[in-house]
Amino acid sequence: MRLRFYNAYLLKKCANASGAPAFHMQEGEIHTCDGSITFRGSKAEAFDLLKDASSPQFDEEIDCGGDLLMPGMQNMHTHSPMTFLRSYAEGLPLDRWLNESVFPMEALLYPEAVESFTKVAILEYLRNGTTTIFDMYHFEDSVAKTCSEMGMRFLLCGNVNLYTGSLADNESRMRQLHAAYTTPMGGFRLGAHAQYTNDDAMLEMLASLAQEWKAPFYTHMSETEKEVEDCKSKYGKSPVELFCDLGLFDYGGGIFHGVWLSERDLALLKEHNVGIISNPGSNGKLASGMAPYKRILSAGIPLGFGTDGPASNNALDLFREIYLAALYSKLTERDAIAVPDEVFLDAALYGGAKIANLNIGDAADFILVDLHAPNMIPKENIVPQLVYSASGANVRMTVINGKILYRDGVYKYVEDVDRIYGEFDMHLTKIESKRGNR
């Protein structure tokens, strides 16, 4: 399938004099074939390519109406099936939110419900311009099945914890997932829920797998002050120090959140090539704190973004995350130019994939952003427009692996949306009933 996307502006990445990321717009177009970008260039370059008889023939040509074609957003930390808990547990700090509200409801889940709840999340991802997700949740095969059916590019993150079975059960599950998901459209990364939801034996088992596979490792870490202080009380070390000493980060990886980090922690993360996937919306909503973006970046640590789950955010919109990060960085440092806007945009488009060791090369994953909406006028200074003005509501089209999955309010290759919502309600009612009977 050959597609041509023309009459567009392209978001072009380059580097400024200091080597930092920079972006500008250029009139141009994109051509795709069977999931890959075959041409991405200026209007003049496209004219030269297409002017003779031997030029490519297209199955469809899409007029982009003078709007912006740009890489898709990468949601590199999320819990997609938690749509069923959106707005369920409000006004609680993380430890109470998990133990009093979330964990009891998650104990009632079953595979078909996870598939249904994931479908709603994917509709939201597509509507908001997300083309890749890094998902951590129960019933991983159900999440993977739904992503595959709906065309979403995904990574599964290991979710090992004391609630997901015995030591042997968890090791067996990690080995199965490691063997099962190795394609560009769906991969697996070794990981655990957190230090505080595992015991020493579980962490040692995970460290042995990391060593056996020479695999990077991913986990929630340093999200709250209480988490860090409890770990220090138990082990005499911060979570970062503990995991480094156990060998879990010997082959790199990433931590989700990274709010409460000492200078020693930052140095260890840099030394072990561990990136930080930040979740400013969730961290703010749960009153966990603000990630120290300037310190993270000054330490040379890669940065990416995720929404976290829809129960703690409550939206799956990466535009909102970079907006919040930019504001938080200014407030934390009391400096209006603490971190350049380009750095946050780059983290949302490219940083997370680097941390997750995801290489999709010339894969045709991109979005079309409406430059004619009133919140995007004038369009000339595009970076602050994308960081501060844009939202998922500005996304006109989402393309993943060369397929147009969403366009101007219509989902393609998706079963009836009302049916998805109906099944969601049915499974939610079933779970609420089971909860009420306990």
Residue 435 domain flag: no
CA distance 267 to 432: 46
Judge if 162 and 124 occupy the same domain.
yes
Residue 437 has a pLDDT of 62
- Return contacts of 383-386, CB within 8 angstroms, 24+ apart: 383/23, 383/341, 383/342, 383/345, 384/341, 386/11, 386/70, 386/319, 386/322, 386/345
CA distance 190 to 277: 15
Residue 92: pLDDT band (50, 70, 90) is confident
Residue range(s) defining the domain that contains residue 134: 73-355
Task: Provide mean pLDDT across the span 138-163.
Answer: 96
Residue 245 has a pLDDT of 98
Judge if 18 and 44 occupy the same domain.
yes
State the pairing for strand pair 395-400/303-305: unpaired
CA-to-CA dists, residue 94 to 101, 162, 208, 287, angstroms: 10, 18, 29, 8
Residue 15 has a pLDDT of 79
Cis amide prior to 357 (ω within 30 degrees): no
Residue 115 has a pLDDT of 98
* pLDDT above 80: residue 68: yes
Instruction: Using a pLDDT cut of 70, give the percent of the chain over it.
Output: 99
Judge if 288 and 392 occupy the same domain.
no
* pLDDT above 80: residue 363: yes
CA distance 286 to 267: 27
Q: Which of 69-73, 92-96, 314-318, 347-351 has the lowest mean pLDDT?
A: 92-96
* pLDDT above 60: residue 438: no
Instruction: Please list, in sequence order, all residues whose beta carbon lies within 8 angstroms of the beta carbon of residue 295, skipping any fewer than 6 positions away.
Output: 261, 263, 266
Among residues 24, 21, 28, which one has the least CA distance to residue 4?
28
Task: Provide mean pLDDT across the span 302-316.
Answer: 96
Judge if 377 and 340 occupy the same domain.
no
Judge if 33 and 99 occupy the same domain.
no
Judge if 244 and 327 occupy the same domain.
yes
More confident residue, 82 or 415: 82
Residue 177 domain flag: yes
Judge if 218 and 110 occupy the same domain.
yes
Task: Provide mean pLDDT across the span 408-434.
Answer: 94
Judge if 85 and 64 occupy the same domain.
no
Residue 255 has a pLDDT of 98
Task: Provide mean pLDDT across the span 298-327.
Answer: 97
Q: What is the pTM of this model?
A: 0.96
Residue 421 domain flag: no
CA distance 99 to 121: 23
Task: Provide mean pLDDT across the span 250-257.
Answer: 98
User: What CATH number does the domain containing 108 carry?
Assistant: 3.20.20.140
* pLDDT above 80: residue 19: no
Judge if 135 and 207 occupy the same domain.
yes
Residue 179: pLDDT band (50, 70, 90) is very high
Judge if 346 and 380 occupy the same domain.
no
Task: Provide mean pLDDT across the span 142-149.
Answer: 97
Last-in-domain residue among 355, 373, 397: 355
Last-in-domain residue among 329, 355, 381: 355
Judge if 243 and 383 occupy the same domain.
no
| pLDDT tens column, 368-388 | 999 999 999 999 899 999 999
Residue 402 has a pLDDT of 97
What are 402's two structure tokens? 């060369």
Q: What Rg do the C-alpha atoms of the chain give, in angstroms?
A: 22
Residue 54 has a pLDDT of 74
Q: How many domains does the chain have?
A: 2
Residue 430 domain flag: no
Task: Provide mean pLDDT across the span 203-211.
Answer: 98
CA distance 202 to 194: 11
Task: Provide mean pLDDT across the span 320-343.
Answer: 96
* pLDDT above 90: residue 418: yes
Residue 56 has a pLDDT of 76
Residue 436 domain flag: no
Residue 91: pLDDT band (50, 70, 90) is confident
Residue 414: pLDDT band (50, 70, 90) is confident
Task: Provide mean pLDDT across the span 301-313.
Answer: 96
Residue 186 has a pLDDT of 95
Judge if 331 and 271 occupy the same domain.
yes
User: What CATH number does the domain containing 395 carry?
Assistant: 2.30.40.10
